[in-house]
Amino acid sequence: MTVEFFVAGFLAQTEHSQLAGAIVSGLSLGTIYALLAMGFVIIFKATQVVNFAHGALATVGAFITAGVAVELNFPGRFLDVPPLLGWSVSVLTALVLSALMGILLERVFLRPMVGEDLFSVAIVTLGMNVILMTIVTDYIGPDPRSMADPWGDAVADLGFVIVAHTEIAQFVVAVALVLLVAAFFRSRTGIAMRATAFDQEAARAQGIKVGAIFAIAWAIGAVLATVGGIFGSVYPRRVGVYSDTALLAFRAFPAIILGGLDSVVGAVVGGLSVGVAEALAGSYLNHPWFGTGFSGIVPYLLMVGVLFIRPYGIFGTEEIRRV
Amino acid sequence: MKTNFKWLAVVMAVTLIAAACGGDEEEAEAPATTVAPATTAAPATTAAPEEEPMDEEEPMDEEMDMMIATDIGVDLEAGVIKVGMLTDLTGPFGGLVGLVAAGVNAYWADVNAGGGIHGMQVELDYRDTVYSVDNHVLFYEELKDKVVAFGHSTGSPHTVAIREDLEADGILAIPLTWYSGWSDPALNANLVPHGAPYCIEAMNLVGYLHDVLVAQGVDNPTIAIASFPGDYGLDSAVGATLGADALGMEVVYDGSGNIIPGQDNAPIGNAIAQSGADIVWVTANAATFTEVYGAAISQGFEALWSGATPNWSPALVAPDSPIKDAVARDYYGSIYFSPIIENNPGTEFLRELMATYAPEVPLIDYVVEGFIEAMILHEALNIAYENGDMTQGGVLAAAKSIEEIDFRGLAPTESYVGGANERLQRQIWITRPDPDALAAGTSPTGISVIERAYTHPIAADYVFEEACYKLS
């Protein structure tokens, strides 16, 4: 309580202080990174595949959401429902479609590669990225596709900082998804996925349908990527999904490595750390001495610094091999 | 597994740090998403339609024909003039340049239908550079021995890359870029730039907004400036800084070159909000402008915002845009020529031609740029014919002898004779967002015009000596 009092007092000394603004902005960005990183980690954890098409999944997922919510106006065209409820149904519909997309991609592109060298499989995901991005960029065009979210440009004044309603929604959704993912890994299917991640052959011998586990992992990964893509495409960051939404996933890579490539907890911690570090660097390390774009380097410096100390990331699994 | 981790970490770190560090002028310097999607793919050759032509040229005089000097790209016997077009049709600015090309095509289709240039049909030979400097140079080399001139050259670094070759080969090119350096005689020997440069555009708008605030009783308004790096962003930011200096305005935040596409630009918006500036000048594209603007207004910040033309996208004031009311309240835009929503002989001529030759193309303002480029080349070819010299060098000399070209109200008149200060275009159109007009379909770009052919005294008095921002 005392600490909270002093923090609030410090922040209140400067109304809308740059520090508070930077931290909130960083946490908001970090939440998006965390969502993207979690999806990436779940796919990697279950299948050992480094998914370079994760940005494309985020972009396509956000584009599908815009399509369902705006172009199809579902369910608004059939039912007169409150905006928040209507938009939530649109998003849930889009998430189902995104999950199906993930399953389809895994079945078409990745399943035939099971047992092949992981480097080759990673290259396949690069190919998937090019295919998906080419198609979705063509559909999106030069202007953004609106998400038509119910919050618009509404903000909440917390006294020491102003936060957009979309950012509050983003925090709530992210926490809920983290809890859901944690619960999933304690479920029967989640345990099967952990077993598959540990040893695919042993899991198969125990009767686990490894192919189904791969499909589920890609479905969850696509859903998390879509949620990240949606929140990266709304106010105050954007006014809709652009094709460059995919860059968010590439910017999330340091968070993934920093947290540990196979750790969901690491993805969350890494995402938030990188987001805050990037925002603080953007706010305070902008002296001409640093040159332009220095804040974009900070996440990678942070990542390299952590890897020097912990080569597997903060929460990554250390694996010892007999030489 | 350990090896995999290390491999992955090293590859990602090196690749992505390199990507983050690369100032990436190509990506940053030019407009990205300011217009609605283009539906036109530029054909290699304009086809002469069967409709009654609007502007008839004198048929080619055979005796005159005997006296015309030619070398490359003009075939008097076949009655063909070949023009090269170095365009980005499918790259990052494909939507924008596709509209420009549609305007160029419609214009030449009409000229050809009217008999062409003294009986000679103009054929446009397009190459799609995909906004790659390498492709630009490659296609220049491919076309330079086939065409009499380049009717279009997309991009500043791209045009810089062929500038010395243009001079060595003695060929004319019409650039699609508003870099102030093109007004420098040391750089523009083979170019005919048009429209106010980014730098002058910024001076005009900063001056205009300063006057608006002073008229409202604001003493000593302050300004915040943020931009892309590269010729586009920094040329414009320098213009805003020069304007602020001339008016005695304090620059309370200077983020010149700090906006990087693909990075988190929210801190710039937060810093602008913290600065408390009365005027904000941003040179970016619509996507990154939104990041900066959204971050600032989400902190409760209000000011007069403005920026270079490519900031604008009708999506900002679309019915489902969360920021349409704020943008309508805060933003002042500009454009280098008369928007299509205006009524003047030029826009009426353009609308008629587009309806005849390209009815499927949306009438978005970049079509006007296509007409302007085509009208400049048309004038140059006519003069070259009259001079009896339709060689590459003859067409270049003809273009450089144009004392005044009248665009029928589509754009301010241009001149390519006299000193740099006489030639420098200083007029712009000032616009305001108009969500209602966009929703009603009366303004496809969501703007209304508040000042036509406007020049602020600080832009009028500016003495041009060299580019506002020097390209390295």
pLDDT, one tens digit per residue, over B238-289 is 999 999 999 999 999 999 999 998 889 999 999 999 999 999 999 998 989 9
Task: Please answer yes or no on whether A295 and B17 come within 8 Å at the CB atom.
Answer: no
pLDDT of residue B82: 98
Per-residue pLDDT band at A141 (split at 50, 70, 90): confident
Task: Please answer yes or no on whether B290 and A16 come within 8 Å at the CB atom.
Answer: no
Which of the pair, A34 or B49, is modelled with greater confidence?
Answer: A34
Is the residue at B303 inside a domain?
Answer: yes
pLDDT of residue A321: 62
Q: Residues 79-138, chain B: which have Cβ within 8 Å of A? A: 94-96
B248 and B184 share one domain: no
Say yes or no: B317 contacts chain A, CB-CB below 8 A. no
Q: What is the pLDDT of residues B26-68, one digit of tens each?
A: 333 333 333 333 333 344 334 333 444 444 455 555 666 668 9
Q: What is the pLDDT of residues A269-321, one digit of tens each?
A: 999 999 999 999 988 887 778 877 788 899 999 999 999 999 999 998 887 66
Is the residue at A219 inside a domain?
Answer: yes
pLDDT of residue B447: 96
Closest to B313 (Cα-Cα) out of B268, B366, B358, B277: B366
pLDDT of residue B472: 64
Closest to A239 (Cα-Cα) out of B295, B442, B117: B295
Residue A156 structural domain: 17-250
B254 and B307 share one domain: yes
Search chain A and give the residue with CA nearest B297.
Answer: A236
Search chain B and give the residue with CA nearest A318.
Answer: B2
Where are the extended beta strands (E) located within B88-238?
A: 121-128, 149-154, 173-176, 222-227
Residue B234 structural domain: 198-335+428-461
Mutation target among B264, B311, B324 for the A interface, most CBs of A within 10 A = B264
Say yes or no: B267 contacts chain A, CB-CB below 8 A. yes
pLDDT of residue A174: 97
Facing residue for A300 by CB, picked from B16, B295, B316: B16
**Global confidence as pTM:** 0.85
Rounded Cα distance between B403 and B373, Å, is 16
Q: What stretches of chain A show up as alpha helix (H) in DSSP? A: 2-12, 18-47, 54-66, 83-105, 118-140, 165-186, 188-198, 200-205, 210-231, 247-259, 264-284, 298-309
Measured between CA atoms, how close is B156 to chain A, in angstroms? 20
For residue A242, list chain B residues with Cβ-Cβ distance below 8 A. 33, 287
DSSP code for A68: I
Per-residue pLDDT band at A142 (split at 50, 70, 90): confident
B40 and B52 share one domain: yes
Q: Is the pLDDT of residue A236 over 80?
A: yes
Measured between CA atoms, how close is A15 to chain B, in angstroms? 9
Measured between CA atoms, how close is A319 to chain B, in angstroms? 6
B397 and B432 share one domain: no
Is the residue at B39 inside a domain?
Answer: yes
Task: Please answer yes or no on whether B5 and A261 come within 8 Å at the CB atom.
Answer: yes
Which of the pair, B21 or A279, is modelled with greater confidence?
Answer: A279
Per-residue pLDDT band at B230 (split at 50, 70, 90): confident
Is the residue at A300 inside a domain?
Answer: no
DSSP code for B451: E
Measured between CA atoms, how close is A79 to chain B, in angstroms? 19
Please state the ipTM of this predicted complex: 0.88
Facing residue for A146 by CB, picked from B23, B263, B321: B321
B310 and B453 share one domain: yes
For residue A146, list chain B residues with Cβ-Cβ distance below 8 A. 315, 318, 320-321
pLDDT of residue B54: 46
Mutation target among A292, A306, A314 for the B interface, most CBs of B within 10 A = A292
Q: What is the pLDDT of residues B311-337, one digit of tens each?
A: 999 999 999 999 999 999 999 999 999
- The first and second tokens of residue A300, run together, are 């990678």
Say yes or no: B18 contacts chain A, CB-CB below 8 A. no
Measuring CA to CA, how many Å separate B346 from each of A233, A264, B368? Answer: 39, 62, 9
Kind plus residue range of the DSSP H or E element containing B457:
helix B457-461
Mutation target among A14, A45, A54, A239 for the B interface, most CBs of B within 10 A = A239
Q: Positive or negative CA dihedral for B104, B109, B110, B111?
A: positive
Total domains present in chain A: 1
B50 and B152 share one domain: yes
Is the residue at A227 inside a domain?
Answer: yes
- The first and second tokens of residue A49, run together, are 């595949």
Is the residue at B4 inside a domain?
Answer: no
Facing residue for A304 by CB, picked from B13, B291, B314: B13
Say yes or no: B268 contacts chain A, CB-CB below 8 A. yes
Search chain B and give the residue with CA nearest A152.
Answer: B322
Task: Please answer yes or no on whether A143 and B36 come within 8 Å at the CB atom.
Answer: yes
- The first and second tokens of residue A287, run together, are 């002296």
For residue B287, list chain A residues with Cβ-Cβ distance below 8 A. 144, 238, 242, 244
B412 and B450 share one domain: no
SS (H, E, C) B74-118: EECCCCEEEEEEEECCCCCCHHHHHHHHHHHHHHHHHHHHCCCEC
Say yes or no: B388 contacts chain A, CB-CB below 8 A. no
Rounded Cα distance between B93 and B369, Å, is 14
Is the residue at B12 inside a domain?
Answer: no
B248 and B386 share one domain: no
B355 and B253 share one domain: no
Measured between CA atoms, how close is A288 to chain B, in angstroms? 10
B318 and B347 share one domain: no
Q: Is the pLDDT of residue B77 over 60?
A: yes
Is the residue at B8 inside a domain?
Answer: no
pLDDT of residue B59: 52
Beta-carbon pairs below 8 A across chains A and B: 188
Is the residue at A101 inside a domain?
Answer: yes
Total domains present in chain B: 2
Q: Is the pLDDT of residue B16 over 50?
A: no
Task: Please answer yes or no on whether A141 and B23 come within 8 Å at the CB atom.
Answer: no
For residue A238, list chain B residues with Cβ-Cβ distance below 8 A. 287, 290-291, 294
For residue B94, list chain A residues with Cβ-Cβ distance below 8 A. 142
For residue B267, list chain A residues with Cβ-Cβ distance below 8 A. 22, 25, 279, 281-283, 286, 295
List of residues 6+ apart from B134 with CB closer than 8 A: none
Give the 3-state secondary structure of residue B234: helix
Is the residue at B169 inside a domain?
Answer: yes
- The first and second tokens of residue A106, run together, are 């895994």
For all residues of chain B together, what is the average pLDDT? 88
Closest to B66 (Cα-Cα) out of B58, B76, B75, B54: B76
Per-residue pLDDT band at B216 (split at 50, 70, 90): very high
Per-residue pLDDT band at B398 (split at 50, 70, 90): very high
Is the residue at A113 inside a domain?
Answer: yes
B351 and B204 share one domain: no
A16-30, A38-52, B144-158: segment of lowest average pLDDT: A16-30
Q: Which CATH number covers residue B229?
A: 3.40.50.2300
Task: Please answer yes or no on whether A253 and B20 come within 8 Å at the CB atom.
Answer: no
The dihedral region occupied by B286, where left means phi > 0, alpha psi between -120 and 50, and beta the remainder, is: alpha
Measured between CA atoms, how close is B31 to chain A, in angstroms? 11
List of residues 6+ apart from A300 with CB closer than 8 A: A254, B13, B16, B17, B20
Say yes or no: B41 contacts chain A, CB-CB below 8 A. no
Task: Please answer yes or no on whether A239 and B322 come within 8 Å at the CB atom.
Answer: yes
B322 and B353 share one domain: no
